[in-house]
Amino acid sequence: MDVVSFIKRGTMYDFDYKIVKLIQRYFADDLTPGEEQELREWLAGSHRHQEIFDAIRQGENLEDRERVWKQTNKQQALNHFEKKIGYQRRVIVRRLVKYAAVVMIPLLAVLSWQWLNDEEKVLHEAPVAIQPGRMQATLTLEDGAGIPLNRVGDEGFSISQSGARIRNTMNGIVYTDTINTSGITSFNRLKTPRGGEYNVTLSDGTKVYLNAASDLKYPVVFDKDCREVYLSGEAYFEVAKDSKRPFYVVIDAVKIEVYGTSFNVNTHYNNQVQTVLISGKIGVKGNESGLYKVAPSELVEFTSDGKFIRQEKVNVLPYIAWRDGQFIFENESLEQIMSTLSLWYDVDVFYASEKLKAHKFTGHMKKYENINTILDAISKIMEVNFIIKDKTITVMK
């Protein structure tokens, strides 16, 4: 039962995606006790909620209503439906009838029938513009204080902490070049939201470019023997050379050892730890014995719990294009492409069919482009359609 793919969130509906997911998991007999209780509370909150749930569960009159639907004027019904729910269409005109038939699939017939025949006035929310990401992040100091950041010169700041000077500049956060000799290590944390990116120059001169939905924890000042930072998400590193102090990046159960190197680390890709070396040399170690030495233009991949997956030669451009304001996809699955776009444009993505996720696409696009332009390009090549409602994108055949 693919309920999630079609039911949209908004004030016009009696339930949101979270509830829909609970209903879907109910039919799959996959609810946890806490989720079951949450669904029960939702059902108890409204008589209409219970009616909708019962209609889906019992499959009430679905075949009869589908038969009636087939006898209706589909174009007129489609126009009525779209006017009712306020969709922004991205569908080729010649596929309108096909789209209408898909929307009124038997599973959704009960719900759609109620919406289409509901004479009650519906309040439509103003469309929410989907914007590309921008320079924004939150800096958390050692005392837990959070400072919102953006790259605007007149909103810069300069503070002192643990013997270091911290400045917010047009190029991101900059820490003074110094060495910790006190033996006490204080940490800061730089965190970007979905739709955000930010840069930081650490106290040793290492530059880190943080992509969307990422988190970097690092010492305010590195000590005299070691430099170690902690990452989740995606970041591009340009590590300052220091033969006496190795640089380590720790990601879950994976540890990267670095000496004056440029490389990209990504934990968003299939929830794995993916490292691509651009220049220099690194060693990567999981929870198994042995250090995997990586050469330039090589990728090494581990599971998040430290199990080795693969090491191979690659074209590095698709992995680091985001750093230069580009998206480069090479025979990439639609699921992974939309995952990347969801992080950058801060949108949610749902699929009318699981099979659509496996479609492959190759293309080169500007990272700061209007999302409509990107979706148009994908739609024409892959023969898929996208429906946008507020900040949610539904992928359809």
pLDDT digits (tens, 9 = 90+) for 177-232: 766 566 678 899 999 999 999 999 999 999 999 999 999 999 999 988 889 999 99
Q: Which tokens sit at 393?
A: 């994108």
The reply to whether 251 and 380 lie within a common domain is no
DSSP summary character for residue 94:
G
The reply to whether 110 and 165 lie within a common domain is no
The reply to whether 274 and 139 lie within a common domain is yes
Can you give the pLDDT at residue 41?
79
Burial status of residue 6 (CB atoms within 10 A of its CB: 0-12, 13-18, 19 or more): buried
Last-in-domain residue among 269, 302, 320? 320
Q: Can you give the length of the chain in residues?
A: 397
Q: Is the pTM of this model over 0.85?
A: no
The string of pLDDT tens digits covering residues 131-180 is 999 999 999 998 888 999 986 554 567 787 777 889 888 889 999 876 65
The reply to whether 97 and 212 lie within a common domain is no
Cα 14 to Cα 34: distance, rounded to the nearest angstrom: 21
Sheet holding 385-389, edge to edge: 348-351, 392-396, 385-389
The reply to whether 240 and 363 lie within a common domain is no
The string of pLDDT tens digits covering residues 57-109 is 555 444 444 444 444 444 454 454 444 434 444 443 333 333 333 333 334 44
Can you give the pLDDT at residue 127?
57
Cα 167 to Cα 225: distance, rounded to the nearest angstrom: 25
Measured CA distances, 332 to 363, 373, 384 (Å): 9, 18, 15
CATH code: domain of residue 363: 3.55.50.30
> Is the residue at 6 inside a domain?
no
More confident residue, 55 or 286: 286
> Is the residue at 4 inside a domain?
no
Can you give the pLDDT at residue 228?
96
Cα 287 to Cα 305: distance, rounded to the nearest angstrom: 7
φ/ψ of 56, rounded to 5, equals -70, -45
> Which H helix or E strand runs over 112?
helix 106-116
Q: Where does the pLDDT of residue 34 fall: very low under 50, low under 70, confident under 90, or very high at 90 and above?
A: confident
The reply to whether 286 and 158 lie within a common domain is yes
Per the structure, how many domains does the chain have?
A: 3
Is the pLDDT score of 125 beyond 50?
A: no
Can you give the pLDDT at residue 19?
74
Stretch among 35-44, 110-119, 348-357 having the lowest mean pLDDT: 110-119
Burial status of residue 163 (CB atoms within 10 A of its CB: 0-12, 13-18, 19 or more): middle
Domain around 257: 134-320
The reply to whether 342 and 296 lie within a common domain is no
Q: What is the rounded average pLDDT for all residues in the chain?
A: 78
Cα 253 to Cα 260: distance, rounded to the nearest angstrom: 23
Contacts of 83 (CB under 8 A, 6+ apart): none
Ordered DSSP codes for 304-369 = TTS-EEEEEE--SHHHHGGGGTEEEEEEEEHHHHHHHHHHHHT-EEEES-GGGGG-EEEEEEETTS
The reply to whether 344 and 370 lie within a common domain is yes
Can you give the pLDDT at residue 154?
42
The string of pLDDT tens digits covering residues 291-336 is 999 999 999 999 989 999 999 999 999 999 999 999 999 999 999 9
